[in-house]
C-alpha cells in the first residue's frame, strides 16, 4: 500500500512539473508577442524624417500630436521618449503629458542597457522599486546634422506592467493571480509557480509567479482517500488511475511541445526567431564534422522601408511572408532559416564541397527574383546577401555572424541585389572605414582639412588661367586621404554640406593670393539642392570679399537630369550673383547637351576617361571633338581633364580645345606652391616682354 501511494505521489509531482513548464513557456510567448505588438505600433506611428524635422525645428507640440499622443491614445503606451545615442532625452511624454519625464530616472538604466545590445534595437522587461513595464527601443535609421546630439536617435516606449496587463497576458494560458517580483522568492509557497525573466533595469533577473494548475496534486487529493478506504478495489483503482495519469501526461507533453514551438517562432513569418536561431547555429557548429562546411547567410531586402512607406505595412507584411517561404524552399530541410526582425533574414546550411554551396546560393537568388503579387499589382523583390563559411571564416557563432554581417554591408554598399562572400580584406576595410567615420565628424574642428590647387592652363600658350580646388584630409594616423576615401562617407553621415562650404570659404580666402585666376570648387548634389544654397554662397562671397566672376562651382553632370523647380531657381540665383557653374566628369552619365542647354551652365569638363583614350581610339577622339563644337555653339566653355602626355596635348590643340588640366602641367598643389607657380609664370612673361621691347 505504501509503495503504491509513493508511486502516485511521484506521478503527481511529475505532472505538476510538466504543467508548470507548459505555463512558463506560454507566459513567455505571450510576453514576446506583446513586445512585437509594441514594435508594430511604433513602426506604424513614426515617420523618421518627419520626427527629425520636427525635433530640429523644436516643434515638440506637433511631434507630440503625431507621435507621442498617437502611441498613448491609440495603443495605450504610457511612457514615450526620443533620446540621443547616449540616452539623453530630446522628447518625452508620460501618461499623455508632453515634456513629463519623472519616470525616466528609473527607465534610463534599462535604455542604456538596451542600446548596448543588438544592431536592430532591443525589447524586454524593466522592473525596479519605482515601477515595471515592457520597454522597446528602436534606433532611427535616418540621421541629420540639424540636430546637435549624438546619433542615431532612439525611439523608446514603456508599457506599464500593472496588474491589468499582467492578467491579460496570462489569460490565454489560463494562469491566475500573476505577480511580478524584482527579487527571488515569489515561488516559496507550494501552490505557486514562477519563471525568471531578464531585467533590463540592472541586468539581474525578475520573477513572474502565479498560482499553478497542479493537476497532479488535484488528482492525488481525490485518489488517496479512495485508496485508503477501498482497499478491496486496490488493483482496479491502481489500473484506472495509472491510465488517467498516462492520458494527462500525454496531453501535457503535447501542450509543452506546442508551447516550445510557439516560443521559438517569429510571429509574422513562422520562421525561427533570433534566440532559437543562434542556439541552433551554436549547436550546428559544435557538431560540425572535420570534412564539412557550414554556410551562414545574412539576407536584407533592398528598399524595404520604401515599400512600407509607399505600398503600406500590409504590403510589407505580405512581402516578408512570401520571402520567408522562398528562402525556406531554397535552403531546404537540411538548413535552418530565421528572421531577426524587420527585413533581416538569416539562414545556415551544411555543405560538403564548394559546388554544393554554389548550387544553394544560385537556387536562393532564383527563388527571390520573381515579383510578389499583392492584389493591386506586383512588388519587385531584390535582396543583398552576405555569406560566411565555417570553419574557414570563423568557428564561433558570434564571429561567423559578425563576418556574414560585414559581407552583407559590402553587398549593400555595391548597390543591392548582390551576393558577397566574406574575406579578410572586407574586415580590414570595414575597420578602416569605421576609424575614418569616427574621426570624420571632428576633422573640421581639428583643422585637418586642407585645400589643394590643380592648375588649369590655356592649351595654346600653356599659361595658367585658373585652378580647381580639391579637398584633402590630413588624418593624424592614416596620413593624407583623398576625396574618394571620405566624401561618400560624409554624404552618408549628412555632413557633406559642412565640408563643401568650408572648402568654398577656404578657397575664397586663400585665392586672394592668386590674382586674376578663376577658382573652381567642387560641390556635392546634396549640398546644392539645399533651398538656401545660393544664399550661403552669397554670404561667403560677402564675408571673404571674393569676386563672384572668379568663382566657378563644379557639380556632377547627373545633376542636370533633375528638373526640380528648386534646383532651377538655385542655378538662376547663382547666375545672378555672377558665379559660374561647371559640369564635372562630363560624358560619363546620361546628360546630353540638350539637358545642359536648359540650365545656365558656363563650362563643361570632359572627363579624363575620354582624354586618356583620345590618341588610341578614333571614336573617342571624334566624340570629344563633337562635344567641343556643340558646346562652343551654345557659348559654353570647355576644359579637358586628365591630360598626362604631350601627345594628348597636341590632339587637344589640333581640335581647338581652349583649356585643360592634368598631371602633364602639374598635380594638385598646396597654396604656397600655386602662388610660386604664378610668380614664376609672371617673371617669364615679363622677361619675354622685356626682350621683345629691346628687340
Give pLDDT tens digits for 648-665.
999 999 999 999 999 999
Q: Give the C-alpha separation, 105 to 205, whole Å.
A: 20
CA distances from 55 to 51, 62, 92 (A): 6, 10, 12
Check pLDDT > 80 for residue 376.
Answer: no
C-alpha 616 chain-centroid distance: 44
What DSSP line would sit under 487-532, residue for residue?
A: HHHHHHTT-HHHHHHHHHHHHHHHGGGSTT-EEEEE--HHHHTSTT
Per the structure block, which three cell numbers stand in for 385? 546577401
Q: Give the C-alpha separation, 368 to 382, whole Å.
A: 7
Check pLDDT > 50 for residue 186.
Answer: no
The confidence band for 253, taking pLDDT boundaries of 50, 70 and 90, is low
pLDDT at 74: 79
Q: What is the mean pLDDT of residues 161-178?
A: 80
Q: Which of 134-148, 278-292, 446-460 has the lowest mean pLDDT?
A: 134-148
What DSSP element (H or E) covers 557? none
The confidence band for 143, taking pLDDT boundaries of 50, 70 and 90, is confident
Give pLDDT tens digits for 8-30.
566 555 666 776 677 778 778 87
Radius of gyration of the chain (CA): 35
Q: What is the mean pLDDT of residues 391-399?
A: 91
Percent of the chain whose pLDDT exceeds 70: 84
Check pLDDT > 70 for residue 581.
Answer: yes
Whether residue 272 contacts residue 264, with contact meaning beta carbons closer than 8 Å, is answered with yes
**Positive/negative CA dihedral, 17, 21, 24, 27:** negative
Q: What is the mean pLDDT of residues 576-604?
A: 77
Check pLDDT > 50 for residue 276.
Answer: yes
CATH topology of domain 274-422: Alpha-Beta Plaits (3.30.70)
Q: What is the mean pLDDT of residues 132-137?
A: 90
For residue 135, which of 73, 64, 206, 186 has the smallest C-alpha distance? 206
Q: Which of 400-404, 538-542, 682-686 has the lowest mean pLDDT?
A: 682-686
Check pLDDT > 90 for residue 453.
Answer: yes
Q: What angle do CA 630, 631, 632 make, to 5 degrees?
A: 90
Cis geometry, peptide bond prior to residue 391 (ω within 30 degrees of 0): yes
pLDDT at 587: 58
Give pLDDT tens digits for 317-362.
888 999 999 999 999 988 999 998 888 999 999 998 999 999 999 9
Which segments of the chain belong to CATH 3.30.70.270?
Answer: 274-422
CATH number of 27-210: 2.40.128, 3.30.450, 1.20.1270, 1.10.4100? 3.30.450
Q: What is the mean pLDDT of residues 143-160?
A: 85
pLDDT at 294: 94
Please provide the size of the chain in residues: 695
Q: Give the C-alpha separation, 381 to 369, whole Å.
A: 6
The confidence band for 410, taking pLDDT boundaries of 50, 70 and 90, is confident
CATH number of 434-686: 3.30.70.20, 3.30.390.50, 3.20.20.450, 3.30.930.10? 3.20.20.450
pLDDT at 120: 45
Q: Which of 36-50, 124-138, 318-332, 400-414 has the lowest mean pLDDT?
A: 36-50
Q: Give the C-alpha separation, 344 to 364, whole Å.
A: 15
Mean pLDDT of the chain: 84
Candidate ranges 83-97, 157-171, 205-219, 434-448; pick with highest mean pLDDT: 83-97
Residues forming the active site = 343
Whether residue 5 contacts residue 227, with contact meaning beta carbons closer than 8 Å, is answered with yes
Check pLDDT > 80 for residue 263.
Answer: no
CA distances from 527 to 145, 494, 588, 596 (A): 12, 10, 21, 20
Q: Are strands 293-301 and 344-351 parallel, antiparallel or unpaired?
A: antiparallel
Q: Give the C-alpha separation, 37 to 41, whole Å.
A: 6
C-alpha 686 chain-centroid distance: 60
Query: Would you call 292 exposed, middle or buried from its count of C-beta atoms within 10 A (0-12, 13-18, 19+)?
Result: middle
What DSSP line would sit under 95-118, residue for residue?
A: TTEET--TTHHHHHHHHHHHHTS-
The two counts, helices (H) then strands (E), for the chain are 24, 25
Check pLDDT > 50 for residue 490.
Answer: yes
Check pLDDT > 80 for residue 279.
Answer: yes
Q: What angle do CA 233, 234, 236 make, to 5 degrees?
A: 70
The confidence band for 63, taking pLDDT boundaries of 50, 70 and 90, is confident
Q: What is the mean pLDDT of residues 616-633?
A: 92
The confidence band for 234, taking pLDDT boundaries of 50, 70 and 90, is low
**DSSP category for residue 388:** E
pLDDT at 119: 41
Q: Give the C-alpha separation, 125 to 202, whole Å.
A: 11
Whether residue 247 contacts residue 239, with contact meaning beta carbons closer than 8 Å, is answered with no
The model's pTM is 0.51
Which segments of the chain belong to CATH 3.30.450?
Answer: 27-210
Q: What is the mean pLDDT of residues 604-609?
A: 92
Amino acid at each position: 500500500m505504501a509503495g503504491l501511494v509513493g508511486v502516485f505521489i511521484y506521478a503527481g509531482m511529475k505532472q505538476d512539473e510538466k504543467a508548470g513548464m507548459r505555463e512558463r513557456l506560454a507566459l513567455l510567448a505571450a510576453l514576446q508577442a506583446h513586445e512585437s505588438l509594441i514594435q508594430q505600433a511604433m513602426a506604424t506611428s513614426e515617420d523618421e524624417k518627419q520626427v527629425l524635422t520636427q525635433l530640429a525645428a523644436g516643434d515638440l507640440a506637433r511631434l507630440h500630436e503625431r507621435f507621442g499622443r498617437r502611441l498613448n491614445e491609440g495603443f495605450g503606451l504610457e511612457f514615450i521618449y526620443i533620446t540621443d545615442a547616449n540616452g539623453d532625452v530630446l522628447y518625452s511624454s508620460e501618461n499623455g503629458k508632453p515634456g513629463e519625464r519623472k519616470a525616466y530616472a528609473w527607465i534610463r538604466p534599462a535604455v542604456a542597457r538596451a542600446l548596448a545590445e543588438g544592431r536592430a534595437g532591443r525589447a524586454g522587461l524593466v522592473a525596479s522599486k519605482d515601477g515595471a513595464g515592457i520597454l522597446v527601443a528602436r534606433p532611427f535609421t535616418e540621421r541629420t546634422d540639424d540636430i546637435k546630439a549624438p546619433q542615431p536617435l532612439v525611439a523608446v516606449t514603456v508599457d506599464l506592467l500593472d496588474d491589468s496587463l499582467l492578467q491579460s497576458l496570462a489569460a490565454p494560458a489560463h494562469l491566475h493571480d500573476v505577480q511580478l517580483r524584482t527579487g527571488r522568492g515569489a515561488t516559496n509557497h507550494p501552490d505557486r509557480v514562477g519563471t525568471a525573466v531578464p531585467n533590463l533595469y540592472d541586468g539581474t533577473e525578475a520573477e513572474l509567479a502565479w498560482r499553478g494548475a497542479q493537476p497532479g496534486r488535484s488528482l492525488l487529493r481525490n485518489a488517496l482517500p479512495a485508496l485508503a478506504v477501498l482497499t478491496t478495489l486496490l488493483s482496479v483503482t491502481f489500473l484506472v488511475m495509472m491510465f488517467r495519469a498516462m492520458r494527462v501526461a500525454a496531453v501535457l507533453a503535447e501542450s509543452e511541445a506546442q508551447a516550445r514551438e510557439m516560443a521559438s517562432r517569429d510571429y509574422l513569418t513562422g520562421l525561427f526567431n533570433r534566440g532559437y536561431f543562434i542556439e541552433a547555429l551554436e549547436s550546428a557548429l559544435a557538431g560540425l564534422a572535420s570534412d564539412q562546411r557550414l554556410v551562414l547567410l545574412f539576407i536584407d531586402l533592398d528598399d524595404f522601408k520604401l515599400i512600407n512607406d509607399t505600398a503600406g505595412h500590409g504590403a510589407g507584411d505580405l512581402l516578408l511572408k512570401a520571402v520567408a517561404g522562398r528562402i525556406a524552399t531554397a535552403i531546404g530541410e537540411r538548413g535552418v532559416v530565421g528572421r531577426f526582425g524587420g527585413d533581416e533574414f538569416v539562414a545556415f546550411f551544411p555543405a560538403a564541397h564548394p559546388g554544393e554551396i554554389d548550387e544553394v546560393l544560385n537556387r536562393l537568388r532564383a527563388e527571390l527574383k520573381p515579383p510578389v503579387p499583392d492584389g493591386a499589382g506586383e512588388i519587385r523583390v531584390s535582396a543583398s546577401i552576405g555569406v560566411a563559411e565555417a570553419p574557414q571564416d570563423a568557428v564561433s557563432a558570434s564571429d561567423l555572424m559578425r563576418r556574414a554581417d560585414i559581407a552583407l554591408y559590402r553587398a549593400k554598399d555595391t548597390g543591392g541585389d548582390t551576393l558577397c562572400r566574406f574575406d579578410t580584406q572586407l574586415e580590414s576595410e570595414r575597420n578602416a572605414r569605421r576609424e575614418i567615420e569616427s574621426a570624420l565628424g571632428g576633422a573640421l574642428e581639428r583643422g585637418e582639412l586642407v585645400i589643394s590647387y590643380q592648375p588649369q592652363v590655356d592649351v595654346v600658350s600653356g599659361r595658367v588661367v585658373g585652378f580647381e580646388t580639391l579637398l584633402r584630409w590630413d588624418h593624424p594616423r592614416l596620413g593624407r586621404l583623398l576625396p574618394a576615401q571620405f566624401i561618400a562617407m560624409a554624404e552618408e553621415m549628412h555632413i557633406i554640406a559642412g565640408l563643401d562650404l568650408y572648402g568654398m570659404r577656404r578657397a575664397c580666402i586663400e585665392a586672394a593670393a592668386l590674382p586674376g585666376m578663376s577658382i573652381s570648387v567642387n560641390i556635392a548634389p546634396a549640398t546644392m539642392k539645399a533651398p538656401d544654397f545660393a544664399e550661403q554662397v552669397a554670404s561667403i562671397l560677402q564675408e571673404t570679399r571674393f569676386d563672384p566672376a572668379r568663382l566657378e562651382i563644379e557639380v556632377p553632370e547627373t545633376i542636370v537630369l533633375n528638373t526640380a523647380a528648386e534646383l532651377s531657381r538655385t542655378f538662376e540665383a547663382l547666375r545672378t550673383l555672377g558665379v559660374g557653374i561647371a559640369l564635372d566628369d562630363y560624358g560619363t552619365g546620361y546628360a546630353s547637351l540638350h539637358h545642359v542647354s536648359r540650365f545656365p551652365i558656363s563650362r563643361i569638363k570632359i572627363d579624363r576617361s575620354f582624354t586618356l583614350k583620345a590618341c588610341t581610339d578614333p571614336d573617342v577622339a571624334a566624340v570629344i571633338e563633337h562635344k567641343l563644337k556643340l558646346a562652343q555653339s551654345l557659348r559654353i566653355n570647355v576644359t579637358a581633364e586628365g591630360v598626362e602626355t604631350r601627345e594628348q596635348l597636341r590632339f587637344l590643340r589640333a581640335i581647338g580645345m581652349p583649356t585643360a588640366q592634368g598631371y602633364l602641367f602639374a598635380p594638385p598643389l598646396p597654396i604656397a606652391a600655386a602662388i610660386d607657380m604664378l610668380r614664376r609664370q609672371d617673371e617669364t612673361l615679363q622677361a619675354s616682354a622685356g626682350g621683345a621691347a629691346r628687340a
